[in-house]
C-alpha cells in the first residue's frame, strides 16, 4: 500500500488520540476507581503546658523534689516589675548569685536574662555564630565534627530561649530534650530508647530494683556533645609481658620481653 509520508503521520497521531481518549473515558467511567492511598498522619509530640501547680513552687523547691526547673526563668520567683539586678564580673561574665548556686540548669538558660526579646546574633564569615564575650565561659560551641550546627536557633526558639524547637516546628521543654536530639540523630535515639546507647545502671532484673537510665544531656553537653578526652586509670603494674596485649611491652619499659613460652620456669611471670 502506497501512502504519502504526511498521510501516514496523520494516521498514527489519529490512532494515538483515539487510544488516549478511550483510556481516559474508561478511567473516568470505570465503576470501581482504585482508592487513593492515604498515609497515616504522623503523630506529633505535643509538649504539655507547664502546670500551674509546679509554677507556684520556687525553683529550688521544684529542683529538690526532682521536678523540671528548666521551664522556669527568674520571673517564676521574682516579681516581673522589680527585675533582679544582674552583676557582671570584670571579665564581663554574669556573676551567679550565691543563693542560686544549686540551679546549675539556669546557667545555660538564656531566658534568665534575655526575656521576651528576639536576640540579635552576630555571624562570622563562615556562618558560625560569634559567641558574645559575656558568654564565653558559659558555653563552648562545638556541635558536630565539622561545627555544622553552630546556630543557636537550630535548636532554641528564637523568642523564648528556654524552649526548644525541632526542625518541623514542634516546641519542646528542656525536659523533652531527647526528642530534639532525636530529630537529627534518629538511629542513636532508637538505640537509646532500647537501652543500647548510653548508660544503664542499677538492676538488670527490674523485678528486684530499678534500672536507672540517663538522658542525652547527662553525658553530652548539648553545645559540645563530643565526650571530652579523659585521663586513663593506670595500666598493669609491673608491665604485662605475657599473653594477650603484651605486644608493646618493650616500649613501656618492660625488663624482659619475649620470655620463653614455658611459664613453669618463670617464678612470677604474669601478675608479678
Contact call for residue 233 and other proteins (CB under 8 A): yes
The per-residue b/e assignment along 217-254, b for 16 or more CB within 10 angstroms, e otherwise, is beebbbbebeeeeeeeeeeeeebbbbeeebeebeeeeb
- If one counts every other C-beta atom within 10 angstroms of the C-beta of residue 129, the result is 17
Q: Closest separation between CB of residue 253 and other proteins, Å?
A: 9
Using the rule CB under 8 A, which residue among 200, 255, 256, 258 binds other proteins?
200
Q: Closest separation between CB of residue 178 and other proteins, Å?
A: 14
Contact call for residue 239 and other proteins (CB under 8 A): yes
Binding residues for other proteins, total number by CB under 8 A: 49
Contact call for residue 246 and other proteins (CB under 8 A): yes
Cα 245 to Cα 118: distance, rounded to the nearest angstrom: 57
Cα 42 to Cα 267: distance, rounded to the nearest angstrom: 69
Contact call for residue 196 and other proteins (CB under 8 A): yes
Q: Closest separation between CB of residue 266 and other proteins, Å?
A: 10
Q: Closest separation between CB of residue 99 and other proteins, Å?
A: 32
Contact call for residue 254 and other proteins (CB under 8 A): yes
Between 126 and 206, name the residue whose CB sits nearer to other proteins.
206
Stretch that binds other proteins, among 17-25, 34-42, 149-157, 241-249 (CB under 8 A): 241-249
Cα 150 to Cα 142: distance, rounded to the nearest angstrom: 7
151 closest CA partner among 127, 181, 183: 127
Cα 172 to Cα 179: distance, rounded to the nearest angstrom: 8
Using the rule CB under 8 A, which residue among 114, 135, 197, 223 binds other proteins?
197
Q: Closest separation between CB of residue 261 and other proteins, Å?
A: 10
Contact call for residue 9 and other proteins (CB under 8 A): no
- If one counts every other C-beta atom within 10 angstroms of the C-beta of residue 20, the result is 10
Query: By the 8 A CB rule, do 95 and 88 touch?
Result: yes
The residues, ordered by sequence, that sit 6+ positions from 159 with a Cβ below 8 Å of its Cβ are 116, 117, 118
Using the rule CB under 8 A, which residue among 81, 87, 117, 268 binds other proteins?
268
Contact call for residue 235 and other proteins (CB under 8 A): yes
Range 170-189, binding other proteins (CB under 8 A): 187
Amino acid at each position: 500500500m502506497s501512502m504519502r509520508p504526511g498521510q501516514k503521520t496523520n494516521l498514527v497521531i489519529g490512532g494515538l488520540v483515539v487510544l488516549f481518549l478511550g483510556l481516559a473515558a474508561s478511567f473516568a467511567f470505570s465503576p470501581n476507581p482504585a482508592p487513593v492511598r492515604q498515609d497515616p498522619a504522623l503523630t506529633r509530640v505535643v509538649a504539655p503546658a507547664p502546670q500551674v501547680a509546679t509554677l507556684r513552687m520556687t525553683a529550688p523547691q521544684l529542683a529538690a523534689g526532682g521536678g523540671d526547673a528548666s521551664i522556669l526563668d527568674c520571673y517564676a520567683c521574682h516579681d516581673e516589675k522589680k527585675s533582679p539586678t544582674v552583676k557582671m564580673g570584670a571579665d564581663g561574665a554574669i556573676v551567679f548569685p550565691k543563693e542560686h548556686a544549686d540551679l546549675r540548669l539556669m546557667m545555660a538558660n538564656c531566658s534568665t536574662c534575655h526575656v521576651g526579646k528576639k536576640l540579635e546574633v552576630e555571624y562570622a564569615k563562615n556562618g558560625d555564630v560569634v559567641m558574645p564575650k559575656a558568654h564565653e565561659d558559659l558555653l563552648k560551641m562545638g556541635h558536630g565534627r565539622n561545627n555544622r550546627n553552630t546556630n543557636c536557633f537550630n535548636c532554641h526558639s528564637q523568642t523564648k530561649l528556654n524552649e526548644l524547637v525541632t526542625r518541623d516546628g514542634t516546641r519542646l521543654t528542656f525536659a523533652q530534650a531527647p526528642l530534639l536530639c532525636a530529630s537529627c540523630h534518629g538511629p542513636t535515639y532508637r538505640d537509646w530508647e532500647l537501652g543500647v546507647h548510653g548508660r544503664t545502671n542499677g538492676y538488670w532484673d527490674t523485678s528486684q530494683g530499678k534500672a536507672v537510665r540517663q538522658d542525652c544531656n547527662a553525658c553530652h553537653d548539648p553545645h559540645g556533645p563530643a565526650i571530652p578526652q579523659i585521663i586513663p586509670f593506670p595500666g598493669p603494674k609491673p608491665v604485662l609481658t605475657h599473653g594477650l596485649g603484651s605486644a608493646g611491652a618493650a616500649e613501656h619499659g618492660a625488663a624482659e620481653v619475649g620470655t620463653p613460652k614455658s611459664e613453669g620456669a618463670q617464678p612470677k611471670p604474669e601478675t608479678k
